[in-house]
């Protein structure tokens, strides 16, 4: 596995399962290797609680779970080690927590700082990070301003994260298409 890996795709495309396979391959290399899933979801309703529980139950044995619904950069800084793969699942929910919280906020300064902190944490991470995110910009342009802002912000974040990764995998129907990142 290379340093960082971005895994993109639509909902139910197999992104998390692919990331877990990367984790299993990482552990199979032996030594003192570890894998932690950095969960970003908030359990705000029954359906989300059920999704979170299903993800926990489906996770391979030996994977630890860390929670970082907002301070993802600190989690990466605190846990990144050369022998420790972090799987961030997922950036889409992390952006949702910032830009579409249950209680609306009008100040975007905190989001801008959290985004910058994440990009810095990836640049400084001592170990590998696999990041799962949705590719949601292929559909129609949303009618509402808030949703358009969300799509734009996630798209820009995915682009910036990709520039800090060595590989990108696009998932479609459970099948991966992987490429080395072109640095511009």
- Active-site entry in 55, 70, 79, 84: 55
- 5 flagged as catalytic: no
SS3 172: strand
- Give the residue from 156, 149, 67, 158 showing the smallest Cα distance to 108: 149
Task: Copy the structure tokens of residue 171.
Answer: 């998932």
DSSP run (H or E) holding 133: strand 129-134
CA distance 117 to 94: 13
Residue-wise DSSP of 63-115:
EEEEE-SS-HHHHHHHH-BTTEEEEEE-HHHHHHHHHS-SS-----HHHHHHH
CA distances from 88 to 34, 99, 139 (A): 14, 18, 25
Could you list the active site residues?
A: 55
């Amino acid at each position: 596995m290379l340093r960082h890996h971005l895994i993109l795709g639509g909902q139910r495309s197999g992104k998390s399962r692919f990331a877990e396979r990367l984790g299993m391959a990482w552990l199979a290399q032996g030594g003192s290797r570890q894998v932690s899933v950095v969960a970003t979801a908030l359990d705000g309703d029954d359906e989300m609680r059920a999704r979170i529980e299903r993800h926990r139950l489906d996770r391979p044995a030996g994977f630890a779970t860390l929670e970082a619904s907002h301070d993802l950069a600190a989690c990466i800084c605190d846990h990144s080690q050369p022998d420790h793969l972090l799987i961030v699942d997922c950036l889409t929910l992390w952006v949702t927590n910032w830009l579409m919280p249950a209680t609306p906020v009008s100040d975007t300064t905190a989001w801008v700082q959290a985004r910058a902190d994440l990009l810095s944490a990836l640049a400084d991470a001592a170990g590998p990070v696999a990041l799962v995110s949705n590719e949601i910009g292929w559909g129609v342009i949303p009618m509402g301003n808030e949703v358009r802002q969300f799509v734009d912000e996630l798209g820009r974040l995915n682009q910036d994260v990709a520039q800090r990764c060595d590989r990108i995998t696009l998932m479609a129907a459970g099948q991966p298409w992987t490429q080395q990142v072109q640095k511009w």
